[in-house]
Amino acid sequence: MFERVKAARERLRGYANVTPVMTSRILNELLGIEVFLKCENFQRVGAFKFRGAFNTISQLTDHQKERGIITYSSGNHAQAVALVGQLLGIRTTVVMPNNAPRVKRAATEGYGAAVIEYDPEEATREEMAELLRAEHGYTIIPPFDHLDIIAGQGTAAFEMFEELKTLDMLLVPCGGGGLLSGSAIATKSIEPSCQVIGIEPELADDAARSFHTKTLHTVKNPPTIADGTRTPSLGKLTFPLVLEYVDDMRTVTETAIVEAVQYLFYRMKIVVEPSGALGLAALLSGAVSASGRVGVIISGGNVDGDMMSKILLTE
């Protein structure tokens, strides 16, 4: 599987941003460790999702490209697929919940995708995408449960090790498990001793429960502020990969997520969406106890102004 990650790294050259790794002396002193933040909020579309989307879509056949592509997403993957469709001249359709963040929907449409809205209380996005695929012959580009998506996401951790050479621990946000499993594959292939820990909100802890019980758990529309982690469960591919390559799963409270977003904004001057701040939330709240050199993947920065204002005003 690591060969797929390395191939994805080459495929993405010249298309994906090599995102910066940021540090903070104040943060290091506060935690008593060296923290390295891989800032995927500076990736194209403002999130790591561009990596997997480009790696997957660029490998489609000419016939598949002519028929068009479809995906389902609350936002970041939708934007990524839409942008890749624009770059490669492919007609793109996105199935998106009616409660998706406005900034993410607007960006998706801005990249030229047709957005099909659905009510998550009445239907599943997978069912709607499948109906449209059957009707129009689209190729489905799933958000996380696809080997090329997983390999593309793993290039974020690959880049970290290219720059930093060594880490004692890597903290990765977890929704459907694409970023987590891809990052864990890359990490364990490069530095097997590095501990890889997935971080979820307490209110959307299906992956943590699945990891600790070795049985797949699901959650329906969890009310977490971290909208990127509202996936119902790990996937058929990501679940066994997480079990194989990830060392532990931890959860953080909504308060911890808010405080991490605030810290990143006020102290480090970067805008990070709640899902992207999960790793730092785990460190600041003590949900994870770490030592040495700790990598944290900041997965994205797409957050509505209204939501960001609410977060920053929370005491």
Write out the H or E segment, with its range, that includes residue 26: helix 25-31
Q: Please state, in angstroms and as integers, the Cα–Cα distance from residue 155 to each residue in 3, 40, 211, 258, 260, following that order.
A: 11, 11, 23, 28, 24
Long-range contacts of 130-138 (CB under 8 A, 24+ apart): 132/70, 132/93, 132/95, 133/70, 136/67, 136/68, 136/70, 136/93, 137/67, 137/68, 138/67, 138/68, 138/69, 138/70, 138/93
238 touches 148 (CB < 8 A): no
Say what the alpha-carbon torsion angle 161, 245, 285, 291 is, to the nearest 10 degrees.
Answer: -50
Residue 299 a catalytic site member: yes
d(CA 131, CA 136): 9
Q: How far, in whole angstroms, is CA 302 from its chain's centroid?
A: 11
Residue 236 a catalytic site member: no
Residue 313: burial class (beta carbons within 10 Å; 0-12, 13-18, 19+): exposed
Residues 38, 49, 104, 188: which is the catalytic one? 49
Q: Given the structure tokens 């808010």, which residue do they identify?
A: 258
Residues 74, 181, 183, 299: which is the catalytic one? 299
How big is the CA angle at 313 (ends 208 and 281), to the nearest 5 degrees? Answer: 25
Please identify every residue annotated as catalytic.
49, 299
